[in-house]
Amino acid sequence: MSPRHPSDDRAPNQVDVARLAGVSTQTVSRVMSGQQNVRPETARRVLAAVEELGYRVHAAAASLASGRTRILGVIVVSTDRYSTAALGVGIQQAAAEHRYTVTTAAVADHASADAFVEAFDRLERQGAEGIILGVPVELDSPAMRLRTARTPSTRNERLSMHPDAPLIIDQHAIARQAVEHLLDLGHKTVWHVPGDEYWLETRQRRETWEQVLTERGITPPPVIPGDWTPESGYRAGRTIAAIPEATAVFVSSDEMAFGLIRALHEAGRRVPEDISVVSVDDIALAGFASPALTTVRQPFEQMGRAAALRLIAQLEGVEISDAPEDVHPELIVRSSTAAPRG
Amino acid sequence: MSPRHPSDDRAPNQVDVARLAGVSTQTVSRVMSGQQNVRPETARRVLAAVEELGYRVHAAAASLASGRTRILGVIVVSTDRYSTAALGVGIQQAAAEHRYTVTTAAVADHASADAFVEAFDRLERQGAEGIILGVPVELDSPAMRLRTARTPSTRNERLSMHPDAPLIIDQHAIARQAVEHLLDLGHKTVWHVPGDEYWLETRQRRETWEQVLTERGITPPPVIPGDWTPESGYRAGRTIAAIPEATAVFVSSDEMAFGLIRALHEAGRRVPEDISVVSVDDIALAGFASPALTTVRQPFEQMGRAAALRLIAQLEGVEISDAPEDVHPELIVRSSTAAPRG
DNA sequence: TTGTATGCGTTATCAG
DNA sequence: CTGATAACGCATACAA
């Protein structure tokens, strides 16, 4: 019944198509890869044969022959954090537009440097032509340098889109906007609840928090520990509620801010009347906290997009025109901050 | 200096290793794939050569020869929704444990059925041996049936882990637990804010909501529209606040519940004293809403894990022992529900 | 515009 | 336990 070789249950290949269409395999290859130098009539015959047999290019064979895989690798931690997911959206989009495929290697939270090297290896072995390091730690071991030297890769955290600049969201700018917003409102000092120590972002934001305070002649108060989770924010909130002179807090994530504000409320301290809170991320729920969160938005999606596009440009040796402009973190002022009470 | 062929910048291959180790390529292959029938001393020599040359197996070549890719495909929508991300965590874990790689194809929200077929094709072409359909819609077009017939795939929504049962979280059970909880508290009826109509889950939950009410002789009130976003929850909340007789609401996601509760508060209706709210998901922030959300937890991570394991079992023709037991949605009672006021 | 020949790096088969 | 040899399916010269 079917036109396929009845006795053969293997998938149809180029040869089968060529035979059925009455052309050479070379022509089939040309048609499949969309090259122009094929007579329309011939192409039509080939396509008809393809359709009839249900032929599809065998990626492994094509890769082996061409040396290209069109695979982008992504290494991430905490797959279910908002930042990771949002980054992924941008990467997926850009990759799909340029007919790349993306494969993800998830690394356990708090994993050692070795785990990242292993993930890199997995991705390389799998044929990834470029790798996006969506990771929260510095990777400057010799082993990692060896790998990033041979496979193009991108650490996605700095702000600038200039082709030679590192690609990262500027954590210092985030912290500076947050802290200066509070100081400009008239607060005498700003307390800080950082994220998990494992994350590079955590350290960078804390440094800048300290620096901005110091610039204004303020001695930074002790850090109140946090680890990104709302629970840790809650604990930090209880601590801060017990500090009468505290009037302003810079928390390193929106999720922690939810916990923090709840603890403050339970302790009878009002936000923002008694204590102002500014956080980071601008997750979908940020505007629906009580009060709505003043927060510094991180442009994750654009960043993911930019990282993928830059990698693709590098792989193809071309300029990519649709890369986003420089993207910046942006302070979104809502209702969790106010001037201190006279 | 280096032992690599100095004039050659191509990656080392099996032949190079075999030559350096003084064995055949076959033996190299055996060592790399961890087969046991190699003399330890020989294996050691091979490994040394591998190390020295920095050799790594070329995946495309291995695939071509073996016919296996060890690639799992995943099709998802709304990559940044909590459900999608959480599912991914489970899939990634299970895949990694069994040395599979996962590549994701993201489909635009509200995409047509064709988009899923295309995504399936991309993944197949890429060599995916099995595909997890982490999608919110029914896919029973002829085109899709053709594909799922030739490539093992899994729709991840039903509850049971029995090998022949569909693999899905039981949406009817979710809705039933939510609605019965409210009715059992003594509420006369339950209003409903569904998710986006595009999602199968939305329709299933609404059906069950209607059914449970009907079972108890209650005529379901009109549905208040929602689309998963907190904004839509807020709008629904304003609507409901204007309905004096409303005392209980079943909202189809935690995120919408945040918006809904805020709108109720703004309208002067207290939760749970005036209106009880139960939602679905149990996201990390659910316990930090004001009041803390009573919600039905969906076991996304276990579901992802189960889907991947089942697929792998099928691909290898083996029983997988570490598959999770049946997993069930679970009602988490917090503070957003209470008996109606006398 | 189209066809022929060759090689990509590995695994599988079979022999030793 | 080890080795020789033949596929695997496609793309890329190069030739016609």
Contacts of A289 in chain B (CB under 8 A): 258
Pair (A304, A292) in one structural domain: no
**What CATH number does residue B214 fall under?**
3.40.50.2300
Strands (E), A200-289: 248-251, 276-281
Please report, rounded to whole angstroms, the spatial distance between the CA atom of protein residue B257 and the C1' atom of nucleotide D7.
60
- Whether A2 shows a pLDDT value over 60: the answer reads no
| Interface subset of B 119-148, CB within 8 angstroms of A | 121-122, 124-127
- Interface test mutation site (partner B, options A227, A288, A298, max chain B beta carbons within 10 A): A288
CA atoms of B114 and B271, how far apart (whole Å): 43
Pair (B38, B101) in one structural domain: no
- The secondary structure of residue B129, as a DSSP letter, is S
Residue B154 is encoded by which pair of tokens? 């899994």
Backbone angles phi and psi of B115, in degrees to 5:
-60, -35
Question: B154 with B184: CB under 8 angstroms?
Answer: no
For position B161, what pLDDT does the model report? 43
Out of A194-198, A238-242, B309-313, pick the least confident: B309-313
- CB less than 7 Å from strand C: which protein residues? A 22-27, 30, 36-39, 41-43, 61, 64-65; B 10-11, 13-15, 25-26, 28-29, 32-33, 55-58, 61-62, 64-66
Residue nearest to nucleotide D2 (CA to C1'): B27
Pair (B89, B121) in one structural domain: yes
Mean pLDDT, range A154-180, rounded to an integer: 70
Please report, rounded to whole angstroms, the spatial distance between the CA atom of protein residue B66 and the C1' atom of nucleotide D11.
20
B88: contact with A, CB 8 A cutoff: yes
For position A320, what pLDDT does the model report? 64
Question: A72 with A316: CB under 8 angstroms?
Answer: no
Residue A167 is encoded by which pair of tokens? 């690609």
Taking only the tens place, the pLDDT of each residue in A102-130 is 999 999 888 888 899 989 988 998 889 99
- Whether B158 shows a pLDDT value over 70: the answer reads no
Nearest to A85 among B79, B101, B287 (CB): B79
Mean pLDDT, range A165-181, rounded to an integer: 86
Is residue B6, in this structure, part of any structural domain at all?
Answer: no
B255: contact with A, CB 8 A cutoff: yes
Pair (A237, A287) in one structural domain: yes
Residues 200-239 of chain A in contact with strand D via CB under 7 angstroms: none
Taking only the tens place, the pLDDT of each residue in B99-129 is 899 999 999 888 888 899 989 988 998 889 9
Pair (A260, A304) in one structural domain: no
Q: How close A92 comes to chain B (CA, Å)?
A: 7
Q: Strand A276-281: give its sheet, edge to edge.
A: A191-193, A248-251, A276-281, A294-297, A330-332
**Is the Cβ pair B106, A89 closer than 8 Å?**
yes
CA atoms of A64 and B25, how far apart (whole Å): 18
Question: B63 with B39: CB under 8 angstroms?
Answer: no
Pair (B206, B293) in one structural domain: yes
Question: A321 with A280: CB under 8 angstroms?
Answer: no
Pair (A249, A199) in one structural domain: yes
Is residue A75, in this structure, part of any structural domain at all?
Answer: yes
- When divided into structural domains, chain B yields a total of 3
CA atoms of A85 and A91, how far apart (whole Å): 10
**What CATH number does residue B43 fall under?**
1.10.260.40
Most confident of A78-92, B13-27, B228-242: B228-242
Pair (B55, B117) in one structural domain: no
Q: Strand B248-251: give its sheet, edge to edge.
A: B191-193, B248-251, B276-281, B294-297, B330-332
Pair (B182, B261) in one structural domain: yes
Pair (A156, A304) in one structural domain: yes
Torsion of CA A136, A141, A144, A149, to 10 degrees: 120
Contacts of A334 in chain B (CB under 8 A): none
Residue B303 is encoded by which pair of tokens? 């579901």
Question: What domain range is B269 assigned to?
Answer: 171-297
Out of A78-87, A134-143, A161-170, B75-84, pick the least confident: A161-170
Q: Is the Cβ atom of B42 within 7 Å of strand D at any atom?
A: yes
CA atoms of A196 and A114, how far apart (whole Å): 19
- Whether A282 shows a pLDDT value over 90: the answer reads yes
Pair (B86, B156) in one structural domain: yes
For position B108, what pLDDT does the model report? 87
Taking only the tens place, the pLDDT of each residue in A20-59 is 888 888 888 888 887 777 788 888 888 888 888 888 889 9
Q: Which residues contact B94 (CB under 8 A, 6 or more apart)?
A: B304, B305, B308, B309, B312
B69 to chain A: closest CA residue: A60
Is residue B7, in this structure, part of any structural domain at all?
Answer: no
Pair (B213, B312) in one structural domain: no
**Is the Cβ pair B80, A89 closer than 8 Å?**
yes
Please report, rounded to whole angstroms, the spatial distance between the CA atom of protein residue A14 and the C1' atom of nucleotide D13.
19
Is residue A3, in this structure, part of any structural domain at all?
Answer: no
> Burial, A15: exposed, middle or buried (Cβ in 10 Å; 0-12, 13-18, 19+)?
exposed
Q: Comparing A23 with A339, which gets the higher pLDDT?
A: A339
Is residue A4, in this structure, part of any structural domain at all?
Answer: no
Out of A68-82, A191-205, B219-233, B293-307, pick the least confident: A68-82
HSE toward the beta carbon, residue A118, CA cutoff 13 A = 10
Is residue B269, in this structure, part of any structural domain at all?
Answer: yes
